[in-house]
Structure 1
Amino acid sequence: MLSQDSNDDTEDVSLFDAEEETTNRPRKSKIRHPVASFFHLFFRVSAVVVYLLCELLSSSFIACMVTIILLLSCDFWAVKNVTGRLMVGLRWWNHIDEDGKSHWVFESRKSTPQDNKTISEAESRIFWLGLIACPILWVIFAFSALFSFKVKWLNAGDDQAS
């Protein structure tokens, strides 16, 4: 499905052959990409759980923080490359023009009557709620750590001194 607009230089390209998926898959489930939906939430929720239970899981502050950073890095990669594309049709890339200037191009799936077959309302909700709710949780955790004076990175040097 390649089309060229006369006003625009961008192409509309089907994402991961979305039209073919809907014709072969039965319409029983409202979630068309259950593995992508699972991993979209798994990395985020795992990072929050590790943060909340880090004192029980390990006495090493560094191991807990590295684990959280790795989980959030996996989450970033999954959202950028897989779940954003499959669940809501987001994609982005870097384009360098003739003058050598770098331009970031962000696109989302265009709304057409055929999209009712390819876009799942449940997946869209899961994607956007997960994308918005977890950063709100991290802000709450940051303020609660700041106001309870349990800023762990200030005590990290004390652990190694003893």
Structure 2
Amino acid sequence: MDQARNFYNTILKSSHPLLLSFHLAGKAVPIVFYIIGSMFLNFTPQFITVVLLLSFDFYLTKNITGRKLVQLRWWYDSTDVNKDSNFTFESYKQYAPGPPINAIDSKLFWWSMYVTPVIWGVFAVLCLLRLKIFYLILVIVAMCLTAWNTYGFRCCDRWEPNSGQSDGQDTNNWFALPSVPGFENLSRLANIQSFFQRQ
């Protein structure tokens, strides 16, 4: 009981206690529902519910809690074919000196971001050992969504706006997105197709 009270007091020290609570709940609820959902649901509704919860968490983290708790925001822009990287970042470093980032917000944000993909990775190993292929698909979706969000925020945090590099270009990039020739032509093809569909 004391641990719960201490955690509650820690949340209250946050600059945005309600948002921090939503952020942590967004990470925890899909995991809890994955664990106990099979007790009262079949696989298909459980799969759909967990994916919807993960999608909500992805959106909430990327667009709201990341911006408020650690003052970082990123998005993947596939329309500009002339950029070296398709990542676009907004960071507190651009607007310095800005309001300080609360240490509690930052610590809990980053811990939750790094721990969540690891938990889903453990579930993936368990699914492999038990040969639960359909649950493995669900866990891989969860792992991809949480890891992609973590990767985006990690790159955004490491990004230096005055370093002369374009958005998302990182010299020490530990994960480079594959460049597939011809994908940039898809947007041009869509423009041509929409031109001929006009009446």
Q: Does 1:125 align with 2:107?
A: yes
Q: Structure 1 CA distance, aligned partners of 2:20 and 2:134?
A: 32
Which residue, 35, 42, 47 being the options, matches 1:52?
Answer: 35
Note if contact 1:40-1:83 (Cα within 8 Å) is conserved in structure 2: yes
Q: What is aligned with 2:52?
A: 70
Q: Does 1:139 align with 2:112?
A: no
Q: Does 1:104 align with 2:94?
A: no
Q: What is aligned with 2:61?
A: 79
Question: Which consecutive unaligned segments of at least 5 residues does structure 2 have?
Answer: 1-11, 137-199
SS, match of residue 101 in structure 1: coil
Note if contact 1:95-1:105 (Cα within 8 Å) is conserved in structure 2: no
From the superposition, tell whether residues 47 and 95 of structure 1 become closer, same or farther in structure 2 (CA, over 3 Å): closer
Offset of 1:96 from its aligned partner?
Answer: 6.3
Q: Structure 2 CA distance, aligned partners of 1:138 and 1:56?
A: 19
The number of residues matched between the two structures is: 122
Note if contact 2:69-2:105 (Cα within 8 Å) is conserved in structure 1: yes
TM-score by length of 1: 0.65
Offset of 1:55 from its aligned partner?
Answer: 1.7
Q: Structure 2 CA distance, aligned partners of 1:106 and 1:124?
A: 18
Q: What is aligned with 1:14?
A: none
Q: Which has the higher strand share?
A: 1
Note if contact 1:88-1:123 (Cα within 8 Å) is conserved in structure 2: yes
Q: Structure 1 CA distance, aligned partners of 2:78 and 2:122?
A: 37
Deviates more, 1:77-86 or 1:34-43: 34-43
- Structure index of larger Rg: 1
Q: Structure 1 CA distance, aligned partners of 2:35 and 2:63?
A: 28
Q: What is aligned with 2:74?
A: 92
Note if contact 1:90-1:106 (Cα within 8 Å) is conserved in structure 2: yes
Q: Structure 1 CA distance, aligned partners of 2:88 and 2:58?
A: 18
Percentage of identical aligned residues:
34
Q: Structure 1 CA distance, aligned partners of 2:79 and 2:130?
A: 48
From the superposition, tell whether residues 81 and 149 of structure 1 become closer, same or farther in structure 2 (CA, over 3 Å): same
From the superposition, tell whether residues 81 and 153 of structure 1 become closer, same or farther in structure 2 (CA, over 3 Å): closer
Q: Structure 2 CA distance, aligned partners of 1:96 and 1:56?
A: 44
SS, match of residue 146 in structure 1: helix
Note if contact 2:37-2:46 (Cα within 8 Å) is conserved in structure 1: yes
Query: Amino acid of the residue matched to residue 143 of structure 1?
Result: V
Query: Amino acid of the residue matched to residue 68 of structure 1?
Result: V
